[in-house]
């Protein structure tokens, strides 16, 4: 099934009212190597709805944009007429703190939202990269999260209700503002991780988490990455329930430039939280499992920021990066696979793992080294083969633009591509939203 627009798209400048095209086109709006003809930043959900009804009628190819932190994610766009910024949808709708829920428009930044929630000692259990810039809608559309997800599940588990503007401009809602709900299909799931290909998320209701009274971060370092991962697994399987467990290899430590990290060693970092006595007990149990120091609050906050941002801030942005999801016990083996394959191609990877979640992030800085496209493709192919053998998947988060043409950055997931194509055909029959950018180039 193809999703090419039925006839060539129109120049947005001629069909969209001027007042809607209220932003200049800048280099920031370039996705991969395509630039849009115009940029719109709707000031309300109604305006977005009107705009999308026009873009749909005229087969305009649109790419929604939140904070732009993960703008290079995905396969190359087939067409790109108009960028739609969601940052104008920036109302905090309500914080029902006594209900531990909140509703917010999608263009609010993650940091602003968390700051509001912090007034009542609550937080939203997602921690995407660059939270000062990343929007709620963008973070959900990408669907990945940061280190905290292990204890608090995935971003999808925090969403209790959602409003979406569909490609044809109609506003639809699902869920509600209560924490337990099975009324109709769980439609929000289509859009979390859907990269804005079935609609644009405009408003979200979340269930929140009370802030734990006290937190602690423990840090220890090892000669080998295997040791750090082995210790991480011991903690994962113990009575301790950390908020996050992360290992950072020596190369990633070097890139993060954090004073807290020993740059020639492999680091294990554990975040714990709770009430004082419970926390003290957890710290003790961790100390029995690995040799570690307690970090002060300020240094810890800064280090966790660097970990979340790894691969996304200017300093660590790689040329090539993969995100592997696999059973936690297989991460040591997969790390070895990545080191070995990199050695074969004379590259050096930087590895960050979230072992409890089974996530391994490997980034490479090619620094202009003349590496063949076919070599990179072959390496990714081999990483995918190895991961699949271990019942995992490899998603390519970063890839050099001139070389990305026919690669699908998404892996093959259980033969479900046909169903995914059917979904796209139902919700975006004209293929106007992020055409070509998602899994299977749909």
Subset of residues 56 to 85 that bind other proteins, contact rule: CB under 8 A: none
Instruction: Give every CB contact of residue 167 below 8 A, 6+ residues apart in sequence.
Output: 52, 56, 198, 199, 427, 428, 430, 432, 433
Applying CB under 8 A, among 98, 119, 368, 374 the residue interacting with other proteins is 98
The distance of closest approach from Cβ of residue 184 to other proteins in the complex, given in angstroms and rounded to an integer, is: 6
The distance of closest approach from Cβ of residue 176 to other proteins in the complex, given in angstroms and rounded to an integer, is: 4
Instruction: Give every CB contact of residue 2 below 8 A, 6+ residues apart in sequence.
Output: none
The distance of closest approach from Cβ of residue 337 to other proteins in the complex, given in angstroms and rounded to an integer, is: 16
Interface with other proteins: number of residues (CB under 8 A): 85
Q: CA-to-CA distance for 344 and 362, rounded, in angstroms?
A: 16
Q: Is 96 in the site for other proteins (CB under 8 A)?
A: yes
Applying CB under 8 A, among 1, 4, 121, 366 the residue interacting with other proteins is 121
Instruction: Give every CB contact of residue 370 below 8 A, 6+ residues apart in sequence.
Output: none
Applying CB under 8 A, among 92, 93, 100, 333 the residue interacting with other proteins is 100
Identify the H or E element spanning 297: helix 297-309
The distance of closest approach from Cβ of residue 436 to other proteins in the complex, given in angstroms and rounded to an integer, is: 15
Instruction: Give every CB contact of residue 206 below 8 A, 6+ residues apart in sequence.
Output: 101, 102, 103, 104, 124, 158, 159, 160
Applying CB under 8 A, among 11, 26, 115, 275 the residue interacting with other proteins is 275
Applying CB under 8 A, among 92, 274, 333, 378 the residue interacting with other proteins is 274
Instruction: Give every CB contact of residue 174 below 8 A, 6+ residues apart in sequence.
Output: 161, 162, 164, 184, 185, 186, 187, 188
Ramachandran area for residue 293 (φ above 0: left; ψ -120 to 50: alpha; else beta):
beta
Applying CB under 8 A, among 11, 44, 132, 170 the residue interacting with other proteins is 170
Q: Is 185 in the site for other proteins (CB under 8 A)?
A: yes
Task: Please choose, out of 5-13, 271-279, 303-311, 363-371, the segment that lies near other proteins by the rule CB under 8 A.
Answer: 271-279
- Is 285 exposed, middle or buried (CB count within 10 Å of its CB: 0-12, 13-18, 19+)? middle
List the interface residues with other proteins, window 338-397 (CB under 8 A): 357-359, 391-393, 395
The count of other CB atoms within 10 Å of the CB of residue 20 is 22
> Which residue lies nearer to other proteins by CB, 41 or 323?
323
Task: Please choose, out of 50-58, 99-107, 305-313, 338-346, the segment that lies near other proteins by the rule CB under 8 A.
Answer: 99-107
Residues 394, 395, 399, 401, CA torsion sign? positive
The count of other CB atoms within 10 Å of the CB of residue 185 is 9
Q: Is 422 in the site for other proteins (CB under 8 A)?
A: yes
List the interface residues with other proteins, window 140-169 (CB under 8 A): 143-144, 149, 153-154, 156-157, 166
> Which residue lies nearer to other proteins by CB, 139 or 371?
139
Per DSSP, 317 falls in state -
> Which residue lies nearer to other proteins by CB, 44 or 132?
44
Task: Please choose, out of 3-11, 288-296, 314-322, 411-419, the segment that lies near other proteins by the rule CB under 8 A.
Answer: 411-419
The count of other CB atoms within 10 Å of the CB of residue 279 is 17
Task: Please choose, out of 111-119, 297-305, 366-374, 434-442, the segment that lies near other proteins by the rule CB under 8 A.
Answer: 434-442
List the interface residues with other proteins, window 186-225 (CB under 8 A): 186-187, 189-190, 192-194, 198, 209-211
Q: Is 86 in the site for other proteins (CB under 8 A)?
A: no
Applying CB under 8 A, among 78, 91, 262, 281 the residue interacting with other proteins is 281
The count of other CB atoms within 10 Å of the CB of residue 276 is 9
């Amino acid at each position: 099934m193809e999703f090419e627009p039925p006839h060539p798209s129109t120049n947005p400048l001629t069909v969209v009212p001027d007042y809607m095209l209220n932003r200049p086109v800048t280099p920031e709006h370039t996705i991969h190597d395509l630039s849009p003809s115009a940029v719109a930043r709707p000031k309300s959900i109604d305006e977005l709805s009107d705009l999308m009804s026009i873009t749909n009628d005229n087969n305009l190819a649109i790419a929604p944009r939140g904070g732009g932190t993960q703008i290079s994610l995905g396969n190359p766009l087939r067409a790109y007429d108009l960028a739609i910024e969601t940052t104008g949808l920036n109302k905090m709708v309500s914080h029902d703190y006594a209900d531990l829920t909140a509703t917010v428009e999608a263009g609010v930044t993650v940091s602003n939202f968390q700051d509001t929630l912090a007034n009542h000692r609550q937080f939203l259990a997602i921690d995407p990269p660059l939270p000062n810039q990343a929007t709620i809608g963008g973070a959900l559309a990408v669907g990945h999260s940061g280190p905290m997800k292990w204890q608090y599940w995935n971003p999808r588990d925090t969403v209790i209700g959602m409003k979406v503007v569909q490609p044809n401009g109609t506003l639809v809602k699902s869920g509600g503002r209560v924490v337990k709900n099975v009324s109709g299909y769980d439609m929000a799931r289509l859009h979390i991780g859907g990269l804005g290909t079935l609609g644009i998320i405009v408003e979200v209701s979340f269930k929140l988490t009370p802030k734990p009274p006290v937190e602690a971060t423990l840090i220890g370092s090892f000669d080998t990455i295997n040791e750090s991962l082995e210790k991480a697994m011991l903690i994962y399987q113990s009575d301790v329930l950390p908020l996050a467990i992360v290992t950072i290899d020596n190369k990633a430590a070097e890139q993060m430039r954090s004073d807290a990290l020993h740059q020639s060693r492999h680091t294990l970092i554990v975040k714990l939280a709770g009430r004082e006595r419970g926390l003290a007990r957890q710290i003790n149990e961790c100390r029995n499992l690995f040799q570690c120091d307690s970090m002060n609050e300020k240094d810890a906050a800064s280090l966790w920021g660097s970990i979340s941002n790894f691969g996304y801030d200017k300093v660590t942005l790689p040329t090539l990066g993969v995100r592997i999801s696999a059973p936690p016990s297989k991460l040591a083996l997969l790390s070895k696979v990545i080191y070995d394959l990199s050695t074969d191609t004379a590259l050096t990877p930087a590895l960050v793992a979230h072992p409890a979640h089974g996530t391994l992030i490997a980034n490479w800085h090619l620094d202009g080294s003349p590496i063949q496209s076919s070599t990179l493709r072959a390496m990714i192919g081999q990483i995918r083969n190895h991961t699949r053998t271990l019942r995992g998947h490899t998603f390519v988060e970063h890839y050099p633009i001139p070389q990305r043409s026919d690669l699908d950055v998404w892996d093959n997931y259980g033969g479900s591509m046909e169903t995914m194509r059917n979904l796209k055909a139902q919700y975006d029959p004209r293929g106007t939203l992020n055409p070509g950018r998602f899994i299977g180039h749909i």
